[in-house]
Structure 1
């Protein structure tokens, strides 16, 4: 039976904005359930925060996110994870890079690397570090 893994991002009050941004870059559909929707409001100022959300596209892109409520500990940390996006088409990867780069901090420019035709890393305006690359052909 096949399984999949999905990156799940944790925010504090910006999950919906982040999901909408990622949907604008990668396409697909966004689903966001708020604490109000779920009947789980513990702090009225957080009622419209996301308790469960995702962006999923027909191209295979899938990311999940939620807002950690204030009564729970949350520390975004420094480099706790990277989200890796790999494709075979340099134009597609370059277009995704251009979308994510809006308001981002460049870690490594998208350019040829020893192991990949294109490789780059950036930290987006939500503090998420993305690694984008073009899969190198494997030779036997």
Structure 2
């Protein structure tokens, strides 16, 4: 696959890279942190309800994992507009406080028990939505507008 000159070049590049100090490094590359803390969610006091709903719609769509992107975006498209301020607060807490998106997915699908602090009217609604009793096609996110 590689010619002789390409192999020599690659070998030379690796040797130089290994011995060349990292210019922007702040420490020893061999030290790996055991735990990188996830920043805690900062609540936004005084945020207007419509602004909060728009933010939650965006956050429901941009999860970083396909399963939650589909589950939460279809949930938000169906229920977010009609939520009261208290329900919006519950939903905000549900999708932003847990540090691991897989937790939300497992709670919604019933694979793990929901912790007491996240058990709410909105969590129950999300669990029902996850069951998809209507057999809706949820292979893509719903349109943002429309």
Q: TM-score scaled by structure 2?
A: 0.28
- The structure where helix makes up a greater share of residues is 2
- The structure where strand makes up a greater share of residues is 1
- Structure number with bigger Rg: 2
